[in-house]
Amino acid sequence: MNYFQDILNAQKRIEPFVTETPVVTSNALNSMFDAEIFFKLENKQEAGAFKFRGATNAVQNLSEEEAAKGVATHSSGNHAAALALAAKNRGIPAYIVMPENAPQIKVDNVKRFGGEITFCAPTLEAREEVLKQVIEKTGAKFIPPYDYYDVICGQGTAAMELIEQAGPFDIVMAPVGGGGLLSGTAIATKKLLLDAQVIAGEPANADDACRSLKAGKIIPSNNPDTIADGLKTSLGDNNFKIIHQFVDDIFTAKEASIRAAMVLLRKQAGIFAEPSSAVPLAAMTENKEFFRGKRIGIIISGGNISEETFNLLTASRND
Task: Please state the separation of Cα 315 from the chain's center in Å.
Answer: 25
Query: Looking at 40, 44, 51, 190, which residue is catalytic?
Result: 51
Query: Looking at 221, 234, 276, 301, which residue is catalytic?
Result: 301
51 labelled catalytic:
yes
Cα(11)–Cα(188) distance, integer angstroms: 12
Helix or strand or coil: residue 195? coil
Q: Which of 136, 222, 239, 224 is nearest to 180 (CA)?
A: 239
The three-state (H, E, C) secondary structure of 293-306, written as one string: CCEEEEEECECCCC
CB 185 within 8 A of CB 299: yes
Report the half-sphere exposure of 214 (CA within 13 A, side-chain side). 8
294: exposed, middle or buried (C-beta count within 10 Å: 0-12, 13-18, 19+)? middle
Strand partners, 25: 38
234 labelled catalytic:
no
Active site residue ranges: 51, 301
